[in-house]
Every structure is written in structure tokens, then in C-alpha cells.
Chain A
């Protein structure tokens, strides 16, 4: 099989190949592939979190409309959310939607730590762990 020439344009139906291009050297190709893996994880987590939180919020508002009530002005205690969800209380769905939305970027960071570890990129696994530590610090320092 002939080696593809340097000028040959490689168009792959795979969107990621298309946007990232193909590497010129095996090392570069490897790097691009690694980059793609982290990006894939991140991409899917963001979309999943967004869809789930939007669905919860819309459902919560619809329930409020159904019960002919105005939405609550305070979020319930985090521990209360599950009980309220199980009893189909609108406030439970609204709070769950907010929590999923806030937690989505945090889970994206957690996901990228694992993706970097999987690639044996210790430096970036460390950097993303530090980011996660700062976010968790805000969870504890930010208590009312």
C-alpha cells in the first residue's frame, strides 16, 4: 500500500478527525488522539448535564403550573431534595435541576482527571485535581 503523500487531503466522516486534522508525525497523531479522548469525555458530560438539568427544571415548573402554585423563592436543604423528588414536589425538581446544573462543570473536571490519568498525563491530572480542590474549598468555605 502506498504511503499517502504529504499534500493528500484526508477527509474523514468522523467529525473529530475533521476538526482535529491528522497528525503529520506518529507522535503528533498520537497527541491529537489523546486530546480527542479528553475532549470526548468533556463534551459528553457537558451535554448530559445540561439536558438532565433542563429537563428537571422544566418538569418542576410544569408541576408548579399543574398544582397552580408559584415557584418557591428558597431552595430546600440538600438532604431534603431526594424526599421532595420522590413525593413529586415541584421544589424538589427545581432544586435538583439547579444542583445538576451547578455540578455539571464540576463533574466535567472530575471526568478530565480520569481521562488524563488514563493517558498517563500526570501533570494535567495534577492540575485538574488542584482545580477540583479549589472548587471543593468553595463548597466548605462558602457555608452560610
Chain B
């Protein structure tokens, strides 16, 4: 029997690693809770969605305070993410857990792939006359003005991100941030802040479904969430001191192992 303390420590690890790599803790947390602790995948997803809400609220508050979040854009895209989460959450509670593990494995492969990073020579942002806004870059002190491109595509991507979030209990930033930055023309900082802001309400939508179906186990979800919150603090402080390139490579290997574990589970229905 695992203790509350062990779950808490796993949460700290996942939160710290997530913050170091700039991804949510969910993709790390769920494989650890299923693989290491041996929890059913739906219980792990329920615990993860709670810690996703906690980290999104914490980071969301910080970014909004710094004025980096495009609040109006995020509130519009939330129509799509919450609809996606509603459908994903209902699917998650009904679907066969082995199938869920298989889908999770595929998403882990995608995350490992996307960790190569977004290469953009010089970020070119400009007002477009649609949802134009601005923020002060914290590093240069310059005002960055930008607008939004390809809004319908952004809505579609947000639906997919919300759907994956509701289905698998992860934040979905790995889908939204590249789309917002590369397709919708948001500066990277604004894309991260805005994506993060949307995650809270998106995760809350599916959490309401999990909660009512008994997939939120307080003995797991609470130590996890508290651990992830603390771990994220540690991770973001360590951030500047760790060689992120090396860390990314190690982490990519880890993700592939996690994916293999999920595929194994999908085929055998293993513990």
C-alpha cells in the first residue's frame, strides 16, 4: 500500500519536471501513477486533472498579473475547449480503460516529438485588426503589439485540445501553444500565458464529470495536487540553472518508455 507521502513525492517530481520543461505535469504524472503505484488509469486521470486545475490557477494568476494573457482571446477560445472537454470527459468515463491507455500512449509519442521545440527564426508579430492587444516584454521592456490570425483554425485546435484534456486528464497546452504561436501569430510568451489561462476552466469542466463518477479519489488526488504545486515552484526556480537541452533529451527517452508502458497496458490490460 502506497502512503500519502509517496504520492506527494511523485507529485513533487512530476510538477518540478513539468515546470522545468515547460509542459504540464499530467503527461508525467499519469504514467507514474499507473506504472509505479499501479493505480487504475481513470483514477490517475482524475488525480491529474485536479493538479492541472491547481497549476493552471497558480500560473494563470501570475501571467494575468503580468498582463501577458490575452484574456479576450482566451475567453473566446474557451467556448471550444470547454465543449471539447465536455465531450472528452463523458467519453473518458464510458470508454474501456485499455483503449484510454492506448490513446494516452499516442499522445505521449506526440509530446516526445513536439519537445524538439518550436523553431522560429525571428518572431514576427503584428496587429491584424482582429483582437489586437499588447503587452510589455519583461526582458526588453518594449511594448509588443499583436493581433490574431486564422481564428477559425484556432477554434478548431482548441476543441481538439479540450477534447484530449477531458479524455486524458492533461492540460492540453502541448497542442494549443504551437498552434497559437505558429498559426495564430501570437508571441510565444502570450501563447503560453493564454493557453495556460484556458486550461483551468477546461479541466474544471471534465473534473465535474469525473467527480460525479467517483474517479476523483481524495487519498490520491490531494497529495498529488499539493505535490505538483510545490514541485512546480521548485522547478521554475531551478529552471535557469539546468541545461534544458540535455534534460529534454533524457525526458524524450522517458516519454517513449511511458508510451511503451501505456501500449503494453492497452494490449494486456495489465494492472
Using a CB–CB cutoff of 8 Å, the interface residues on chain A facing chain B are 15-16, 18-21, 35-36, 38-39, 42-43, 46-47, 49-50, 53-54, 57-58, 60-61, 64, 70-75, 91, 94-95, 97-98, 101-106, 108-109, 112, 124, 127-128, 130-131, 134-135, 137-139, 141-144
Out of A21, A50, A98, A143, which one reaches B134, CB within 8 Å?
Answer: A21
| CB nearest to A44 among chain B residues | B61
Per DSSP, are chain B's interface residues mostly helix, strand or loop, or mixed?
A: helix
Q: How many residues of chain B have a CB within 8 Å of chain A? A: 58
Contact A134-B86, Cβ < 8 Å, known A21-B134, A46-B61, A105-B204: yes
User: Whole-angstrom distance from the CB of B218 to the nearest CB of chain A?
Assistant: 4
Which residues does chain B contribute within 8 Å of A101, judged by CB atoms?
50, 53-54, 57, 225
Given contacts A20-B135, A50-B58, A104-B200, contact A73 B226 (CB under 8 A): no
Residue B27 interfacial (CB < 8 Å)? no
Query: Are B207 and A15 neighbours in the complex by a CB distance under 8 Å?
Result: no
CB contacts between A and B, total, < 8 Å: 172
Q: Which residue of B lies closest to A11 (CB)?
A: B141
B113 adjacent to chain A (CB < 8 Å) = no
- A21 and B136 in contact, given A102-B208, A138-B206 (Cβ under 8 angstroms): yes
Q: A105-B200, A131-B82 are in contact. Are A16 and B56 (CB under 8 A)?
A: no
Q: Report which of A19, A61, A64, A141 forms a contact with B67, defined as CB distance below 8 A.
A: A19
B69 near A: Cβ within 8 Å? yes
Q: Is the CB of A58 within 8 A of B53?
A: no
Are A46 and B57 touching (Cβ within 8 A)?
A: yes
Known: A50-B58, A141-B86. 7 other contacts (CB 8 A): A74-B217, A102-B207, A112-B75, A134-B86, A135-B82, A137-B86, A144-B213
**Residues of B bordering A, CB below 8 Å:** 4, 50, 53-54, 56-58, 60-61, 64-69, 71-72, 75-76, 78-79, 82-83, 85-86, 89-90, 93, 133-136, 143, 200-201, 203-214, 216-223, 225-226, 229
Q: Are A75 and B216 in contact (CB under 8 A)?
A: yes
A94–B208 contact, CB under 8 A?
no
Does B216 contact A98, Cβ atoms closer than 8 Å?
Answer: yes
Task: Say whether A49 contacts B57, CB under 8 Å.
Answer: yes
* Chain A nearest CB, measured from B151 CB (Å): 13
Say yes or no: B226 contacts A58, CB within 8 Å: yes
Q: Is the CB of B79 within 8 A of A130?
A: yes
Q: Verify A43–B212 contact, CB threshold 8 A.
A: no
Complex: A114 Cα to B225 Cα, angstroms: 30
Distance between Cα atoms of A15 and B225 in the complex (Å): 30
